[in-house]
Chain A
Amino acid sequence: MLVNSEQIISALIETIQMVAFSLLFSTILGLPLGILLVVTRKGHLLQNLPFFTVLNGIINIFRSVPFIILLVAMIPVTRLIVGTSIGTAAAVVPLVFYAGPYIARLIENSLLEVDPGVIEAAEAMGATPGQIIFKFLIPEALSSLVLALTIATIGLVGASAMAGAVGGGGIGDLAITYGYQRFDTVTMMITVAILIVMVQGLQSLGNIAAKKIRRR
């Protein structure tokens, strides 16, 4: 094996940082977009078809670009925001552009699952659109939103490993530079195992949290 345990641990920390920060920022981006995708559609609270159509199109465009291409295409933007295009912080930018629209879609789906009758009841009570979103829609969809974010987090773990390819650091970087390019099978096995454990852990965590929210 060409790497020592210290290298693995620091790569693990880098991956966790990348996933955590990109999850945070892409949720900040994706949550309002997801809400807007729901409430501006036809027949909904704040129907605005031109806005909906444009937003829907932009999200589809970002969702259709393969991440590896987005990674490279985003380099100028990354330089503008972070100042460099190499390293963990730089990897967060393309990850957010990748996961933000993805999260918007997932949140849209969760919110659409809410019984329209509940919204109708809210309207009958004289609730404002803001009250309907924050006191009815989101609480009713919370458990499903948590599962959606779990899916997004796992997607980010996978994408962050790819970000290693452009010098983003983390477990993926280790797997590519040692496991792949230097034919170090043991490192490859260890990195893959770490990723498997991470994904399993995250999914279980998400399931438990969603269950807890649903059955209080």
Chain B
Amino acid sequence: MIEFQNLKKVYESGGQQVAALNGIDLKINKGEIFGVIGFSGAGKSSLIRCVNLLERPTSGSVIVDGHDLTSMSVKEVREIKKNIGMVFQHFNLLNSKTVFANVAMPLTLAKVSKDAIKKRVQELLEFVGLADKADYYPDQLSGGQKQRIGIARALATQPSILLCDEATSALDPQTTSSILQLLKKINKEYNITILIITHEMAVIREICDRVAVIEAGKIIEEGTVFDVFSAPKTQTAKNFVSSVMNDQIPDSIKEIIQKHEGMQKVFRINFVGSSAGQPLLSDLAKQFDIHINVLFGNITELQGTPFGKLIVEFQGSDKEITRALTYINQKKISIKEVTAHAS
């Protein structure tokens, strides 16, 4: 468990004070995958670095598994760090050492016996699928492989917390996806709490349970991934969601709506969960005297629940359309009329 209490971090730069973290209160539960998303400069890097005191907060507390790190001695913090693994954007592997030696490093530092190190490293390399690369050097590996080694290294001391600092931001989409699957596997098999910071909403969508949006050193929105994606409250969250959900109506469709305005009505239908499985449109066409034209649509899956939006055009008499709308409302499906000006 990780808890931030009124966490503040102020940097001094050229006589000016810059607040990177401006009073963060956040609780990350044991065993969950928690994502913090924000634009660069929002403070997310400072936040994750406070969890293992790579950066010392100016004020406030960081509580990890019941210990307030800010009140502990340097030596005690060093011990706690063995329980917190960290994965970096640029991997931060030692280029002068083999894959084996890199993964073994945290164990070497902890003065674990050679035999035990050998066994554990073998185990870890098998877990990340790179058992055959033990004698390679990092510069002989691809980015995805390097990150797997970084993950294996972070897991060496069997931590209960894994920090991922933009762990997939330097990787291509396909590799990103495979690294995210690996993180999910770690979370499931070892019940390790994972804190991810990222600027990519796709990362949040793919593996996080809960998400917090950070802006100007403050958490501006927080909730389950499903809630934030289906109903983002702040503009920043909306922007992030639309970056992966594409819920904006394309201009070409807007033009069509504009041309036909007055002759028919355009609606946005939100599907959530089981309603996404119903044959709603064909029901409507059969039961009412209307024609339905699907203009634009997007259905995705969030944490195992289908979720999506359809922009449809109903052609028919006002009366029939009103009846159809009543029917939809009875089914508890959210529907809203769209005009050419609004989206």
Query: Which chain A residues have a beta carbon within 8 Å of chain B's beta carbons?
Result: 115, 117-118, 120-121, 123-128, 131, 135-136, 139-140, 142-143, 213-214, 216
What 10 additional pairs, Cβ within 8 angstroms, besides A125-B157, A140-B94?
A: A115-B90, A115-B92, A118-B93, A121-B92, A121-B153, A123-B81, A124-B54, A124-B84, A125-B81, A143-B96
CB distance from A42 to the nearest CB of B (A): 12
- Residues from chain A with a CB closer than 8 A to the CB of B80 are 126
Query: Which residues does chain B contribute within 8 Å of A120, judged by CB atoms?
Result: 54, 88, 92
Q: Which residues of A contact B79 (CB under 8 A)?
A: 126
Q: A121-B88, A140-B95, A142-B96 are in contact. Are A216 and B109 (CB under 8 A)?
A: no
Q: How many A-B residue pairs have CB under 8 A?
A: 58
Q: A123-B54, A124-B52 are in contact. Are A136 and B94 (CB under 8 A)?
A: yes
Given the interface pairs A120-B54, A121-B88, the reply to whether A126 lies near B94 with Cβ below 8 Å is no
Bin the interface of chain B by size.
Answer: 20 to 34
A136's nearest neighbour on chain B, judged by CB, is: B94
Q: Judging by beta carbons under 8 Å apart, are B137 and A216 in contact?
A: yes
Q: Which residue of B lies closest to A115 (CB)?
A: B92
Report if B78 contacts A (CB, 8 A).
Answer: yes
What's the minimum C-beta distance from B103 to chain A, rounded to whole angstroms?
12
Q: Do residues B94 and A139 form an inter-chain contact, with CB atoms below 8 A?
A: yes
5 pairs of A and B residues whose beta carbons are closest in the complex? A126-B81, A117-B92, A121-B92, A124-B86, A126-B78
Interface check B204, CB cutoff 8 A: no
Residues on A with beta carbons closer than 8 Å to the beta carbon of B93: 118, 121
- Which of B78, B94, B106, B108 gathers most chain A CB within 10 Å? B94
Please give the distance in Å from B84's CB to the nearest CB on chain A: 7
Determine if A135 and B105 form an interchain contact, defined as CB atoms under 8 angstroms apart.
Answer: yes
Question: In the bound complex, do residue A117 and residue B108 qualify as a contact, i.e. CB atoms below 8 Å apart?
Answer: no
With A117-B88, A120-B54, A216-B137 as contacts: A125 and B106 at CB distance below 8 Å: yes
Instruction: State how many angstroms separate the Cβ of A118 from the closest Cβ of chain B.
Output: 5
* A135 to B109 Cα, complex, angstroms: 9
- In the assembled complex, the CB of B67 is this many whole angstroms from the nearest CB of chain A, namely 14
Q: Which of B77, B81, B92, B137 contacts A118 (CB 8 A)?
A: B92
Please, how many angstroms separate the alpha-carbon atoms of A135 and B84 in the complex? 20
Q: A125-B109, A131-B109, A135-B109 are in contact. Are A118 and B94 (CB under 8 A)?
A: yes
